[in-house]
Amino acid sequence: MIWTRRGFIRSLSRTALVLSLEDVLKLAVPAQEAAPKGQIGSRPVFEAKARPAPSTIPSPVKGTPLGYSFVDVAKESGLTAKTIYGGEHKNRYLLETTGCGVAFYDYDHDDWLDLFLVNGTRLEGFPKGQEPISRLFKNNRDGTFTDVTAKSGMTRSGWGQGCCVGDYDNDGWNDLFVSYYGQNILYKNHGDGTFTDVTVKAGLAQSKTRWNSGCAFLDYDRDGHLDLFVANYIDFDIKTAPLPEAAGCAYKGIQVACGPPGLDGGKNILYHNNGDGTFTDVSKKAGMWDTIGTYGLSVSVADLDNDGWPDIYVANDSTAATYYQNQKDGTFKDLAIETGIAYSPDGKPQAGMGVSVGDFNRDGQLDIVKTNFAGDTDSLYQNLGDGTFEDHTYLSGLGINTRYLGWGVGFVDLDNDGWLDIFISNGHVYPEVDNSHLDSPYAEHKYVYRNLRTGQFEEVTNQAGSGMTAAVAARGCAFGDFDNDGDMDVVVNCVNSVPQLLRCDSTIMRNWLKIRLVGKKSNRTGVGARITVTARTAEDAESGQGKQPMRQIEEVRSGGSYYSQNDLRVHFGLDKATTVDEVEIVWPSGTKDVLRDLPPNKLYVIEEGGKILKQVAMGSAAKAGL
């Protein structure tokens, strides 16, 4: 029998052998490069060697033209506001390195995606009235945006981090939560373009300074009201934080900001929605603090074990990732080690940054992709459907890249062929690497991996257009169809620079479907609902036999990527399928709706109960008058 680390740990549960947690970790995790307790240091340096992607499995698409490209249209679209975050060339503290997220946020519900860009600040501060603020941009429906920040009332300044969207009070308007180093903020959407800070009223004020990071709304107890999860990075106080020159913190011989190893990790927070516009902190009793990993950054919520209840996966920096499995009784249990999604294939903790969830191989199970620090690969975990995962990073072809440092990430169907591709935004964490002896630039290009439909991916960055190959210091990114032409675009928030708005220009006429949900018994946003789409080509429909129909699953999800929010309208590429045989929606309430024979290339707004509130032809279908 060949033993694996994960298999050995799982075997313990089948025997009467009982080990302490420390004993299990000694068995599961080999020696690693990390600062001893109490010692301040920079991140562990992992020099994973790139491995070639396996070439034994033939691919129907490898090496063929993409049929799409990305161009950065931020400037002509009116997105010219610079994101300020820490020093331009040197950082004294880790606080200056993390950057911000971004949201494709349809705040006025006109089904044209607006934009919210989180902003930061600098240690030296700014004169009163000149502080950088996060910005809200309204979509003008012509490829341009208008800055409506002042009118909206969302003028908070400070060390902004992540953002997530959901209708916390079920009034029909999606609200916005923004995490900060310092005090978070909950903006209530009034539906008229204005927002009110209801943080204190909602019970979300914090009694101490926290480094809040990734966030997500979720209905963890399925009571119809959106709860809120907020990851926390480090218990950081700038008054006592070590300086690199005093503590000797270095990265490959370069003096850099200290941490996170050696610093105290923050405690993740779970707020329960009381159903009256207020929240209660239930973190401790819900099991949020009973985890191996800490230094939480990005969050993705999904039903990873297919039991109908939302689970939480957290990408942690320099420690084991966290997998909060929902116990269906208001509590969670961290099963990251047992399920095989805590570490790298060789049992090392990784410096996780961003995370995305999706069914990349269309087997009906949700898989995980996670971005990691430079010198390491990104991670791809395949869901085996039995409550465990296998690391497919090298088998899938993602192990060929180790040079760049990943942040925002998404499983996203970029060519509408019905198979999820992978997009990753990159940028080094330390600006000091520029003008150094290291071959590691601060500004880096992105990665685009095409799904070869065989369990493997092909890196196609250089074919994907100037928007992909342009070097930027990227952090958060979000995915959505901002121009409603039927293909998925990307917005990227960059450190100390203007954002990128990457418009996808496609030359391939493939079909697609978009769905926006409106809950009744479930939360109004439909967060946590699972959608299954079954479609087939005209030839298959006529013959009544032949190929199996295309079947895809996805969930409505708040938060994700790195600190960011994707379009809440769920997008499905349909390739050449001309008939959407069936759309099945399983709502958090347990209600199941089935709609049949829907024409493709439309947005469908569907209310719980199966009623189509609106259907809108977009892209080529709109031009054809369909």
Structural domain includes residue 46: no
Which one has a higher pLDDT value, 623 or 192?
192
- Residue 2 or 382, more confident: 382
Average pLDDT score over residue span 342-347: 94
* Of the listed ranges 53-67, 79-93, 596-610, the one predicted with least confidence: 53-67
> What secondary structure, in 3-state letters, does 35-93 show?
CCCCCCCECCCCCCCCCCCCCCCCCCCCCCCCCEEEEECHHHHCCCCCECCCCCCCCCC
Are 353 and 316 in contact by the 8 Å Cβ rule? The answer is no
Task: Decide if 31 is inside a domain.
Answer: no
What's the full length of the chain, in residues?
626
Q: 25-39, 116-130, 610-624: which range is least confident on average? A: 25-39
Q: Following DSSP, what letter does each residue of 452-506 receive, concatenated?
A: -SSS-EEE-GGGS-HHHHS-B-EEEEEEE-TT-SSS-EEEEEETTB--EEEEEEE
Task: Name the pLDDT band for 62 (thresholds 50, 70, 90).
Answer: confident
pLDDT on residue 8: 44
Residue appearing with tokens 């995962």: 389
Alpha helix locations (H) across 506-617? 538-543
Place of tokens 């929605």: 273
Residues 274 and 401 in one domain: yes
Residues 332 and 424 in one domain: yes
% the chain with pLDDT above 90: 83
201 and 273 within one domain: yes
* pLDDT for the residue 619: 75
Of residues 169, 164, 172, the one with CA closest to residue 191: 172
Which tens digit of pLDDT belongs to each residue from 295-319? 999 999 999 999 999 999 999 999 9
- Tell whether 117 and 253 lie within a shared domain: yes
Is there a single domain that holds both residue 240 and residue 169?
yes
Residues 113, 224, single domain; the answer is yes
The pTM for the full model equals 0.93
Confidence at residue 323, expressed as pLDDT on a 0 to 100 scale: 98
Instruction: Please say if the pLDDT value at position 21 is more than 50.
Output: no
For the segment 184-209, the average pLDDT, to the nearest whole number, is 97
Residue 580 pLDDT class (50, 70, 90 cuts): very high
Round to whole Å and give the CA distance between 564 and 566. Answer: 7
Which of 458, 485, 506 terminates a domain? The answer is 506
Strand partners, 423: 410, 448
pLDDT of residue 1: 36
Report the amino acid identity of residue 452.
Answer: L
Task: Kindly state the percentage of the chain with pLDDT values over 70.
Answer: 88
Specify if 276 maps to a domain. Answer: yes
Q: What is the pLDDT of residue 41?
A: 74
Residue 50 in any domain: the answer is no
* Residue 548 sits in the same domain as residue 534: yes
Residue 349 lies in a domain: yes
Rounded CA gap, 61 and 414, in Å? 14
The per-residue pLDDT for 30 is 38
Question: For the residues 418-442, what does the mean pLDDT come to?
Answer: 94
Smallest CA-to-CA distance from 519 within 606, 625, 451, 445 is with 606
Choosing from 457, 482, 506, the residue where a domain stops is: 506
Average pLDDT, the chain: 91
Q: Are residues 258 and 392 both part of a single domain?
A: yes
- pLDDT for the residue numbered 548: 76
Q: What is the pLDDT of residue 60?
A: 58
CA 539, chain centre distance (Å): 37
- Give me the pLDDT at residue 549, please: 84
pLDDT at 44: 67
The residue-averaged pLDDT of 210-239 equals 97
Please indicate, yes or no, whether residues 411 and 536 belong to a single structural domain of this protein. no
Q: Pick from 486, 506, 526: which residue ends a domain?
A: 506
| 56 inside domain | no
Question: pLDDT band at residue 622, thresholds of 50, 70 and 90?
Answer: low
Helices and strands, number each (H, E), in the chain:
11, 38
Q: What is the pLDDT of residues 433-475, one digit of tens each?
A: 998 888 889 999 999 999 999 999 999 999 999 999 999 999 9
Find the mean pLDDT for residues 599-626: 85
Q: How far is CA 120 from CA 179, 471, 496, in A?
A: 11, 21, 9
Structure tokens at 20: 């302490």
Per-residue buried b or exposed e for 306-341, using 16+ beta carbons within 10 Å of the residue's own CB: eeebbbbbbbbbbbbbbbbbbeeeebbebbbbbbbb
Instruction: Specify whether 575 is located in the same domain as 474.
Output: no
Structural domain count of the chain: 2
Rg value, the chain, Cα: 23
The CATH number that applies at residue 266 is: 2.130.10.10
pLDDT of residue 57: 47
Collapsed DSSP state (helix, strand, coil) of residue 436: coil
Asked if 598 and 480 sit in the same domain, the reply is: no
Give 230-280 pLDDT, tens digit per residue.
Answer: 999 999 998 899 999 999 999 999 999 999 999 999 999 999 999 999 999
pLDDT tens, residue by residue, 82-121: 999 999 999 999 999 999 999 999 999 999 999 999 999 9
Phi, psi of 302 (to 5 degrees): -165, 155
> Do 524 and 482 share a structural domain?
no
pLDDT > 60? residue 282: yes
Q: Answer yes or no: is 165 within a domain.
A: yes
- Which band of pLDDT confidence, cut at 50, 70 and 90, is reported for residue 34? very low
pLDDT band, very low/low/confident/very high, at 18 (cuts 50, 70, 90): very low
The amino acid that residue 84 corresponds to is I
pLDDT confidence of residue 51: 66
Q: Domain of 240?
A: 69-506
Stretch 168-184: mean pLDDT, rounded?
Answer: 98
Asked whether residue 6 is domain-assigned, the answer is no
Q: What is the mean pLDDT of residues 126-133?
A: 94
Q: What is the pLDDT of residue 528?
A: 98
